[in-house]
Amino acid sequence: MTRTTVLKFGKVENADTSDLPGWVVVEGKPTMKTAVQHTTKDGKVLSGTWQATPGTYHATYTDYEFVHMIAGRIVITPDGGEPVEVGPGDAFVVEADFKGTWKIVEPVTKHFVVTVGS
């Protein structure tokens, strides 16, 4: 049996349109789509594409996430911390204990890698 060792992400299809667990709308009427496009055999690492429309969520993380922004602009503000603006081409990480707001300023497309149970 041949195992695929390289997977190129294609179109976002069959995306989940429900809000992520721990994400609560606090301003506007943002929507999101999450497409998990790959999961490791042990289920500990998920990767895919996330899209969102303008508005603000308060997010509570339980898992580590690496992000590469493809399009759009977000201002991320940890509770009690300083805002960080990210846009196209930026890469960043969010630690598993993050709590704060994600203000989607412009429609966003990002690629993500999440380590489950980190």
Q: How far apart are CA 41 and CA 3, in angstroms?
A: 11
pLDDT at 54: 98
Contact (CB, 8 A) for 58 and 101: yes
Q: The tokens 């991320």 sit on which residue?
A: 76
User: Nearest-CA neighbor of 105 among 38, 27, 36?
Assistant: 27
Domains, the chain, ranges and CATH?
23-115 (2.60.120.10)
Note the pLDDT tens digit of each residue in 57-106: 999 999 999 999 999 999 999 999 999 999 999 999 999 999 999 999 99
Q: How far apart are CA 57 and CA 27, in angstroms?
A: 7
Q: Give this prediction's pTM.
A: 0.89
pLDDT at 7: 79
Comparing 12 with 37, the larger pLDDT belongs to 37
Burial 77-98 (b: 16+ CB within 10 A, else e): bbeeeeeeebeeeeeeebeeeb
